[in-house]
């Protein structure tokens, strides 16, 4: 079972008040219902189909028919079609799908009149046309695919009322509303009541964040090592040039000691090298002091290069 299907299974079992059920159904009908002589609601998810069937039956006393078909183009999934004709106008008007005999593109305020109704509407929206990537397998991504730009803009505003940072764009002949931030996707799962999904998502997110942090630290450490090696190699080149010119013995004694110890410990960090010099010579030198002396050696080597 995909992560999307497991989330839909979980939220399709949530019990609500009648007004909340109506808000949820309103979003479902808006996105996947076809209105002709009768009303057909089509879904590939059996749990969503069962939810729709039970809500229509329990709220409106309508007993829809259910047809199960094999998916198109040899798709292994089944398609579930819930159909009804009795009390069609009553149901559609109550769900705010039709208003004054005209299909209502944007729901009336009473459908999302308070926070609980808004959450129920978003739950229905996800059941109808939402999908979410499994955080274990792919990048973080939550999306809804709808028919019109006007409705896409409306859905995005609903999500952003809850600070979910959604955006939308045109994709083929549809519109996609999406959320990519892992924290915001987790917040959405909380909004629709997918408690188990939130726990799973957060565990995976914590693991991935820790793994990414470890990788960043390793990369940073490797970069520091590479930089240290490059710097040490340049210092060794400076010392070699000075020796070739026969100038090592005329260096200041402190610079000469540093040059000798750098050659003796070519891969050692400045911090460790300063400790070694301090212990073996008895003359205390700090990391910054060592850096200052190596800088002087570099300046001497550069003067030699300029003469050449």
CB 15 within 8 A of CB 193: no
Higher pLDDT, 35 or 227: 35
**pLDDT surpassing 80 at residue 126:** yes
Mean predicted lDDT score pLDDT of the chain:
87
Distance from C-alpha of 302 to C-alpha of 238, rounded to nearest angstrom: 8
**pLDDT surpassing 90 at residue 184:** yes
Distance from C-alpha of 274 to C-alpha of 100, rounded to nearest angstrom: 86
CA distance readout (Å), 128 to 26, 191, 219, 225, 283: 10, 16, 43, 53, 77
Rg (CA), the chain: 34
Q: How close are the terminal C-alpha atoms of the chain, in Å?
A: 73
pLDDT at 211: 67
Question: Per residue in 273-304, pLDDT tens?
Answer: 888 888 888 888 888 888 888 888 888 888 88
CATH, range 3-193: 3.10.28.10
Could you give the angle at the alpha carbon of 245 between the alpha carbons of 241 and 246, nearest 5°? Answer: 115
Average pLDDT over residues 1-15: 91
Report helix, strand or coil for 238: helix
Question: Per residue in 77-108, pLDDT tens?
Answer: 788 999 988 888 899 999 999 888 788 889 99
Distance from C-alpha of 166 to C-alpha of 153, rounded to nearest angstrom: 10
Q: In what order do the strands lie in the sheet with 65-70?
A: 33-35, 39-43, 78-84, 65-70
Q: In what order do the strands lie in the sheet with 142-146?
A: 130-132, 142-146, 174-179, 167-171
Distance from C-alpha of 127 to C-alpha of 51, rounded to nearest angstrom: 10
Question: Per residue in 49-74, pLDDT tens?
Answer: 999 999 999 999 989 998 888 776 65
For the chain, the domains span: 3-193, 210-307
Average pLDDT over residues 127-145: 90
pLDDT at 70: 78
Structure tokens at 86: 């009795």
């Amino acid at each position: 079972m995909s992560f999307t299907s497991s989330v839909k299974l979980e939220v399709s079992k949530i019990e609500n008040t009648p007004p909340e059920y109506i808000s949820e159904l309103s979003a479902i009908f808006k996105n996947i219902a076809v209105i002709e002589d009768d009303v057909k609601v089509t879904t590939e998810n059996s749990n969503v189909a069962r939810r729709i069937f039970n809500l229509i039956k329990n709220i409106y006393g309508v007993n829809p028919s259910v047809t199960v078909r094999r998916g198109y183009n040899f798709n292994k999934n089944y398609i579930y079609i819930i159909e009804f004709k009795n009390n069609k106008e009553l149901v559609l008007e109550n769900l705010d799908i039709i208003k004054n005999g005209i299909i209502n593109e944007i729901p009336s305020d009473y459908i999302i009149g308070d926070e609980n109704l808004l959450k129920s509407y978003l739950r229905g929206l996800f059941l109808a046309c939402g999908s979410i990537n499994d955080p274990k397998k792919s990048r973080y991504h939550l999306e809804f695919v709808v028919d019109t730009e006007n409705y896409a803009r409306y859905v995005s505003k609903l999500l952003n009322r809850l600070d979910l940072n959604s955006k939308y764009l045109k994709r083929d002949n549809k519109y996609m509303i999406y959320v990519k931030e892992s924290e915001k996707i987790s917040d959405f799962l909380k909004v629709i009541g997918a408690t188990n999904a939130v726990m799973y998502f957060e565990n995976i997110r914590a693991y991935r964040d820790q793994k990414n942090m470890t990788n960043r630290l390793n990369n940073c450490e490797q970069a520091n090592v590479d930089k240290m090696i490059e710097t040490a190699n340049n210092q060794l080149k400076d010392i070699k040039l000075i020796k070739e010119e026969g100038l090592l013995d005329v260096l200041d004694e402190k610079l000469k000691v540093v040059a000798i110890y750098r050659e003796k410990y070519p891969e050692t960090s400045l911090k460790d090298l300063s400790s070694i010099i301090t212990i073996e010579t008895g003359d205390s030198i700090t990391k910054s002091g060592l850096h200052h002396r190596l800088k002087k050696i570099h300046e001497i080597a550069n003067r030699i290069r300029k003469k050449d």
